[in-house]
Structure 1
Amino acid sequence: MAGADPERLWLRPAEPRRGRKPSFSRDAITEAAVALADAEGLDAVSMRRVAGAVGAGVMSLYSYASDKETLLDLMVDQVSAELPTSGPLTGDWRADLKAMAHLQRDHMLRHPWLPAALATHRTPGPRVLAFLEHVLAALRPSGLDGAGRLEVFAQLTAFVAGHVRHELAQTQGARSPERVAAEARYLATVAQDGHHPELAEALSAPRRPTDPDATFGRFLNRLVDGLNTD
């Protein structure tokens, strides 16, 4: 199975192989990998590219990260230091949860590779666990048991990651005004054919604000306000 043993990875200090002390550290390797992913995407991250960024031989990196899957775990944990792990909570768990979701979205937009990484991320490191602890504390007034609170955290993170992936795809593959107009004409024609009354009614309704912040806020409200705590 790819990836390092989580106990060895997170509970024991990184130890280089015997020999001359290297001029880099696990943190330096992880920071270089994050910088690559931020600039060029996750596919650009390879042990060879990271080794070049820190001025090391490829083989020397394996003392700190046994493979790319382990490096990905380190990267996710490294950037999770940007998320809050303390601070006052309002006691209104829905409001606190929404605030944390907005912070998660900002975090993923700063690191566009993160939503894809989270889809395969396996073992939470100490920084991820610190943020999780904060969210679980925010959810305590909900009355959910521990398993329920963990499920809400997973559901919220999956929602934010999926939304950000869609948001980034829309930005990167922006359609031309001509294409947008053509699609609008097509849908208007279909809505008038008598076979799609629900679509016709939906398209006739007033349009909602389309800016990304407002869209995310509406979707988030529907998710969090509709959470069942029974």
Structure 2
Amino acid sequence: MSNQKESGAPDPFLVWERPEPKKRPAPAPLSRDRIVRAAITLADAEGLAAVSLRKVAALLGSSPMRLYGYIDTKEELLDLMLDAAYGEMIAEGPFQGAWQDCLRTMAQRTREAVHRHAWLTELLSGRPLQGPNAMTYSEAALAALSDQPGFEDIAVTLQTLKTVTAYVVGALQDEASEHHAVQVSGMTKEEWQLATYPYLERMLATGRFPNIARIVKEVEHPSPAEEFERGLQIILDGVAARMNS
């Protein structure tokens, strides 16, 4: 390990702590924040697959090579975009109320952020939350629960947050999958459902899927927002039951 790391100095390997290049006269002044904001604008308009350093540079009126002074790879750019989304959630204020209220607020903020930035569902899992905004958000969530009765054990608090987060990410990905199918088809949601229903009827008529058939016939299909809230309530009820056992 280098002396730099032993001394506690910032590790230049991490994009969060790497100094930006010195400012110099240029037709289009750059900063890491401007680059990230441009990437978010691009992703909002065209999807995450459209984000590249070349396209972001073009949006900023710059060259891709200039961006490399601020960001080494596209993966770093995606990490910064994710952290910026957490920054938006932090800006909405502290988590307040009973533990159920705090967890519901966290869940709803994430869902609202995904509705602002559809690409966020692709980044919410599989990436460590090491950015300053993500860590601030995690610290605020842990603090909001740690002050509540039943959450004196930090391990219980952490596991509760992980459980709720797993539900939220999974529910949002499920919600996005149907939206993606409709979007790719070029139809409205109603047109897509009408076009695919004959296939579903043929599959159910085989008798191989009796429980799916029951769902189609018996289950009321609420709005995505209602379905999200129902699932979240099941998770919160489970946490409450564990605390009262």
TM-score by length of 2: 0.76
Measure, in 2, the Cα distance between the counterparts of 1:222 and 1:188: 32
Question: How far is 1:164 from its partner?
Answer: 1.5
Structure 1 residue 106, shift from structure 2 partner: 1.1
Bigger relative contact order, structure 1 or 2, given CA contacts below 8 A and separation 6+? 1
CA shift at 1:45, angstroms? Answer: 0.9
Asked if 1 retains the 8 angstrom alpha-carbon contact of 2:95 and 2:141, the reply is: no
Give the Cα–Cα distance (whole angstroms) in 2 for the partners of residues 6 and 216 of structure 1. Answer: 41
Which whole-Å CA distance do the structure 2 matches of 1:26 and 1:130 have between them? 19
Identify the residue that residue 63 of structure 1 maps to in structure 2.
Answer: 69
User: CA-to-partner distance for each residue in 1:22-64, whole Å, 9 max, x for gaps?
Assistant: 5111110000111111111111111111111112221111121
RMSD of equivalent CA atoms: 2.9
Identity of aligned residues (%): 34
- Per-residue CA deviation, residues 59-78 of structure 1 (Å, 9 max, x unaligned), is 11112111111111111111
Give CA deviations for 1:58-105 in whole Å, capped at 9, x if unaligned.
Answer: 111112111111111111111222214643611x21232012201111
What TM-score results when the alignment is normalised by the length of structure 1? 0.81
The alignment covers a number of residue pairs equal to 219
5 Å-filtered alignment, 1:151-190, equals 151-174=159-182, 175-184=192-201, 186-187=203-204, 190=207
For residues 128 and 44 of structure 1, what CA distance do their matches in structure 2 show?
24
Q: Out of 94, 113, 119, which is 1:113 matched to? A: 119
Structure-2 residue corresponding to 1:124: 130
- What is the alpha-carbon distance in structure 2 between the residues aligned to residue 205 and residue 148 of structure 1? 40
Correspondent of 2:48 among 42, 45, 48: 42
- Aligned pairs for 1:1-230 within 5 A: 8-11=14-17, 14-16=19-21, 20-22=24-26, 23-84=29-90, 86-87=93-94, 89-90=96-97, 92-140=98-146, 141=148, 142-143=150-151, 145-174=153-182, 175-184=192-201, 186-187=203-204, 190=207, 196=210, 199=211, 202-203=214-215, 206-227=218-239, 228-229=242-243
Distance 1:133 1:189 in 2: 52
The answer as to whether partners of 2:95 and 2:140 remain within 8 angstroms in 1 is no
Q: Say whether the 8 Å CA contact 1:84–1:131 is kept in structure 2.
A: yes
Structure 1 gaps, min length 5: none
Runs of 4+ aligned residues of structure 1 deviating over 3 Å after TM superposition are 5-8, 19-22, 84-88, 200-206
SS at structure 2 position matched to 1:60: helix
